[in-house]
Amino acid sequence: MNYRLTIQYDGTRYAGWQRQSGNADTIQGKIEGVLSRMTDIPVEIQGAGRTDAGVHALGQIANVRLETEKSPEEIRAYLNAYLPEDIGIVSVVPASDRFHSRLNAIGKTYCYRLATDPARHIFERKYMTAWQEPLDLSAMKKAADFLTGTHDFQSFCAKKSKKSTVRRLDEIRFEEFPGELRLTFQGNGFLYHMVRILTGTLLEVGSGQRSPQEIPAILKARERKYAGFTAPPQGLTLTEIFYS
């Protein structure tokens, strides 16, 4: 039976989603370990997004094939009983045999949170990045307009890729709250470190280090060195994954 899992996690102490040889501290590895103990056979799960080390998720989706007499609710309860407290299974539901969490995804949303006031956000510090320089939101929005649409985002990828680096970025939304700025990115897919590099580039625009008009040339260059810095991981959360 193929099951669809909705997962939340605090990525602070993990080396990212993807299982790694010789490193037990990954989200995928932790979940697979519990499911393998539950079924007494090795289990592999497929995640929709390979979040980086230190990045969080509110709505990660995975699928897994299991041979078990347990109900979906019993599987969820077992996972939550034995997973670490910073990984939670929101739901387990039967899925069609053809469902694949990554290959069937048609869109994803990430949110990057910035603490923009001088206060130390003690209880939110693991989920926000401090940024106290003044920001020109108007300039950032102009830069975002150049970035939205279908482009080759090779300049915003931390690794050279032999596969296509063309992606469709549907929206970059800016929301201001007391002491906080949130940047929400929605698109059909994201490259390695892409959201963090987009965020770093927009912050450089907002702080006057570069102009919005540079963005088309950065996209055209297809070289990582021309884009902005990679924003720290703790401000980033995978919030939602979309399916048709």
Kindly list the domain boundaries of the chain, sorted by start residue. Answer: 2-94, 107-243
CB 137 within 8 A of CB 206: yes
Q: Does residue 40 have a pLDDT over 90? A: yes
Catalytic residue among 52, 86, 117, 152: 52
| Domain covering 2-94 in this structure, CATH number | 3.30.70.580
| Domain covering 107-243 in this structure, CATH number | 3.30.70.660
Q: Does residue 1 have a pLDDT over 80? A: yes
Interatomic CA distance for residues 17 and 51, integer angstroms: 5
Q: How confident is the model at residue 205 (pLDDT cuts 50, 70, 90)?
A: very high
Encode pLDDT of 109-157 as tens digits: 999 999 999 888 889 999 999 999 999 999 999 999 999 999 999 999 9
Encode pLDDT of 152-177 as tens digits: 999 999 988 778 999 999 999 999 99
Q: Would the CATH topology of 2-94 be identical to that of 107-243?
A: yes
Q: What is the mean pLDDT of the chain?
A: 96
Encode pLDDT of 71-89 as tens digits: 999 999 999 999 999 999 9
Question: Model's pTM, two decimal places?
Answer: 0.95
Q: Does residue 22 have a pLDDT over 90? A: no
Q: What pLDDT shows up at residue 24?
A: 80
| Residue 52 is a catalytic residue | yes
